[in-house]
Amino acid sequence: MKKLQLSCAILILALGAVAEYKIQDNPLMTTWGEKITPENAWREYPRPQLTRSNWQNLNGLWQYAVNPREEGQPEKWEGEILVPFAIETPLSGVKRLLEPNEQLWYRRSFDAALKPDERLIIHFGGVDFRTQVFVNGVEATDVPHESGNLPFSIDITDLVKPGANELILSVWDPTGTYHQSLGKQSLKPAGCFYTRSSGIWQTVWTEVVPATYVARYQVVTDIDRETVAVTVFPAGELMGASCSVAVVKGGTTLAKGNIAAWNKPLILPVKNPKLWSPESPELYDLEIALTGQNGAVDNVKGYFGMRKIHWQHDEKGVPRLYLNNQKTFMYGTLDQGWWPDGFLTPPSDEAMAFDIQFLKDAGFNMMRKHIKIEPLRYYYLCDKMGILLWQDMPSGPGNAENRYQLYREELKRMVDLLQTCPSIVLWVPYNEGWGQPKAAKTNQVFAWLKRYDPTRLLDGPSGWHDYGVGDCKDKHHYSEPQMFPVMKDRVSVLGEFGGIGFMVKDHLWAEKSWGYVTDPNPDAFFERYKNQMDTLADFATQGLAAAVYTQTTDVEIETNGLLTYDRKVAKKPAADFKKASLHVYEAAKNTQLQIKTAILESGQNEGRNWKYTTDKPADNWFNVDFDDKAWETGLSGFGNKAIQKDHKASRVRTPWETNSIWIRTEFQFDGNPEDITRLALEIFYDENAQVFLNGIKIASFTGYNSNYDTRLLSADAIKALKKGKNTLAASAINTVGGAYLDLGIVGITYK
């Protein structure tokens, strides 16, 4: 380490005086980001899934410069940048936007001291986007590496010399002007797209290996047969080489065997296995020893979890998800993995663990990792701490046909990279049609992926363009939960819903922020969340197998997180979120098919006459015996011009342009209330609605929704329904923007 520090110091002196590293000013910072220094930034071993002891961390201060894309190496370096943080981030110490017509250069020194027959591999966890690597003035990349999401490695043995060596990188990041996979990055952040991250954004490190070494391995567990199949993929001279694999638990070797054929699985017994699950994330250690012809041994360590995921029909014939042969409802958040101070780069291990633990404490057993591939330490924490993952493939702009080959290459590399992680149970190749080709190529991707990795489930396109292939059919609906009807051959899941906005003062990226719906205070926010959990429980008992709530944290101007963007404020305690969702898991255990009967039709299809007023009525306006003869008569729904512009689902038949409205109607119910299990409202309100049935308050809603939603009422609400004539009354208050009110009543029985 002393030699390395000395060589770096010599390099800096040669470049002249540079400014001292300083975290740049930013609207928000996390507590972990505030503590970042060049000495503590990402010091952990970066690849827990395959570890070696002889490695060198190259994170820290590097020299940087930016010049036009078409030019070569700059003659002058502009200053220092903290790796592994992107140049746009405050933690980089630079906070400069990189333009598509520019290229970013990096430079540093590193030491090398190799013994005969040793090789030196340099690893880059993530560099966005096109990267060329030079060692001692010679290009080490035979072909420039293209991918901002995936790691790459280069054998630089023949380019290094004993002692100090020079390392230079050239990076071009077109962000949205090319067909790369970039997820939510944008040149012009707005809505649900965020500030770009260019250049190095994950750990850079070197590793000494023997001439024959383990490049990667693959594990396939079988809990029914109590076995694990390990396939070792070697590199280097294989003549005369041998390899052993051992399964270890708590320091005790449980099974050991020798590889009989390269790239073929070695099957080892795991008797009475301890299964991996979110509740009990049991991991087994894996020890691999690859011995070369010269006797040098590459000792690597890894891990695996004994875990099975599949779908099958439950006791009622409804397709459900099964973890370790047990019916399991999966409920998680949309987790984008963005940070205010590091953007795509988490500030630290502790920061990543905080997010995961919060979700577990808040009652979630899953998360959907949304169009981002995380550093490998993140997946290790998910494996170790216990949370299920739905892994998205990052999307990209441009013509889907033009980007198809690069997309397929990155998809395969992502699957290979994350194959050993037991927490990942489902792949999500496409999100909402972004970069998705038409039916033929979409289904070709799905057919290939299902064949390539049969150990995991495959989501149909998450939202939007579904062509009938995939284990799951995935609905997106904001803000209220919805579901696809139960199918015979696919599982119904809800890939996105929620998005309830609540802005926490002094913890905002910008004053102008948004959510799919927005509430003014934490109580209103949480009341809406609890109402959505009631609706979700109702769908879970019908056959919905999983749901993804948007989202874990606020992200830039999106304020629909459970946590603020800086992670300093939980909008409600984790225990409250957990308590609110417990009945969702319980409801999913017993499938009950619903039969819905319209008791009073809403105006969604055809208007109904209501009595209404926009002048404040007497306090007893909702009572059955209230005299409403002076009120006007109008067809539902009631709304203003703004709602018609904002929400196409509105059916404005009677104008309402004032701040408040009160409506009443009578209807006849000839059935028997005792034959109905529950009541629900079919309601579209904007905003702050109250509903009364025969003078009894049966519902109160804060904020607004954006469509006709079915809201399950409390079990006591059925007591308000009478055989014969009934009176339904409702009110709404509009404070800003669109105004709308319309509703109906639905009776629910279960089969």
Convert the pLDDT of each residue in 122-141 to its tens digit: 999 999 999 999 999 999 99
pLDDT at position 8 is 45
Mean pLDDT along residues 13-39: 84
CA distance 235 to 244: 15
Q: How high is the pLDDT of residue 17?
A: 46
| Whole-angstrom distance, CA of residue 677 vs CA of residue 697 | 18
Collapsing DSSP to helix, strand or coil, 717 comes out as helix
Comparing 343 with 20, the larger pLDDT belongs to: 343
Q: Binning pLDDT at 50, 70 and 90, where does residue 19 land?
A: low
User: Average pLDDT, stretch 725-750?
Assistant: 95
Residue range 234-258: mean pLDDT, rounded: 96
CA dihedral 718, 719, 721, 725 (to 10 degrees): 170
* pLDDT value at 5 more than 50: no
* Structure confidence at residue 18 (pLDDT): 53
DSSP letter assigned to residue 277: -
Instruction: State residue 121's pLDDT score.
Output: 98
pLDDT at 408 over 60: yes
Rounded to whole angstroms, how far apart are CA atoms 311 and 459? 12
Residue found by looking up tokens 């926490």 in the block: 504
Q: What is the mean pLDDT of residues 319-326?
A: 98
List the one residue out of 17, 365, 420 whose CA is nearest residue 217.
420
- Report the candidate in 94, 112, 114, 113 with the shortest Cα–Cα distance to residue 104: 94
> What pLDDT was estimated at residue 323?
98
pLDDT digits (tens, 9 = 90+) for 591-628: 988 888 999 999 999 999 999 999 999 999 999 999 99
Q: Is 157's pLDDT higher than 60?
A: yes
The Cα–Cα gap between 681 and 713 comes to 7
Q: Taking a C-beta distance cutoff of 8 angstroms, is the pair 611, 664 a contact?
A: yes
**453: which 2 tokens?**
């990795």
| Amino acid letter, 17 | A
Scored b (16 or more CB within 10 A) or e, 186-213 reads beebeebbbbbbbbbbbbbbbbbbbbbb
pLDDT at position 15? 44
pLDDT at 696 over 90: yes
What single-letter DSSP state applies at residue 507?
A: -
What mean pLDDT comes out for the span 353-357?
A: 98
3-state helix, strand, coil in the chain (%, to 5): 15, 35, 45
Nearest CA among 411, 400, 410, 402 for reference residue 434: 400
b/e per residue 124-158 (b: at least 16 CB within 10 A): bbbbbbbbbbbbeeeebbeeebbbbbbbbbbebbe
Predicted confidence at residue 712, as pLDDT, reads: 84
Q: How many CB atoms lie within 10 A of CB 237?
A: 14
For 45, other C-beta atoms within 10 Å of its C-beta total 17
Mean pLDDT across the chain, nearest whole number?
A: 94
Nearest one of 213, 219, 349 to 289, comparing CA atoms: 213
DSSP single-letter state for residue 454: T
Q: Which residues contact 629 (CB under 8 A, 6 or more apart)?
A: none
Taking the C-alpha atoms of residue 721 and residue 726, their distance in angstroms, rounded to an integer, is 7
CA 387, CA 328: separation in Å to the nearest integer? 13
Q: Do the strands 102-112 and 138-139 form a parallel or antiparallel pair, or are they unpaired?
A: unpaired
CA-wise closest residue to 184 among 502, 12, 328, 396:
396
Check if the beta carbon of residue 459 is closer than 8 Å to that of residue 390.
Answer: yes
CB 530 within 8 A of CB 578: no
For residue 76, name the pLDDT band (cuts at 50, 70, 90). Answer: very high
378: pLDDT strictly greater than 70: yes
CA dihedral 42, 45, 49, 55 (to 10 degrees): 140
User: What is the average pLDDT across 136-156?
Assistant: 97
**Buried/exposed code over 625-658 (b: 16+ C-beta within 10 A; e: otherwise):** ebebeebeebbbbbbbebbeeebeebbbbbebee
Separation CA 328–CA 584 (nearest Å):
11
- pLDDT beyond 50 at 202: yes
Q: Tell me the helices (H) and strands (E) count for the chain, helix number first.
A: 8, 47
Q: 665: closest CA among 745, 721, 609?
A: 609
**Which pLDDT score is estimated for 263?**
85
Separation between Cα atoms, residue 400 and residue 148, nearest integer Å:
18
Q: Cα–Cα distance between 638 and 651 in angstroms, integer?
A: 8
CA angle 153, 158, 163 (to 5 degrees): 95
Closest C-alpha to 247, from 301, 210, 188, 200: 301
Per-residue confidence (pLDDT) for residue 12, from 0 to 100? 43
Q: Per the structure block, which two tokens stand in for 347?
A: 């500030």
Predicted confidence band of residue 47 (pLDDT cuts 50, 70, 90): very high
Q: What is the pLDDT of residue 11?
A: 46
User: pLDDT tens across 493-541, in order?
Assistant: 999 999 999 999 999 999 999 999 999 999 999 999 998 999 999 999 9
pLDDT for 128: 97
Residues forming a β-bridge with 233: 216
Output the 3-class SS for 154-190: EECHHHCCCEEEEEEEEEECCCCCCCCCCCCEECCCE
Whole-angstrom distance between the N-terminal and C-terminal Cα of the chain?
70
Residue 5's H or E segment, with its range, is: helix 2-15
Kindly report the number of other CB atoms within 10 A of residue 105's CB atom: 23
The mean-pLDDT minimum among 81-85, 543-547, 698-702 falls in 698-702
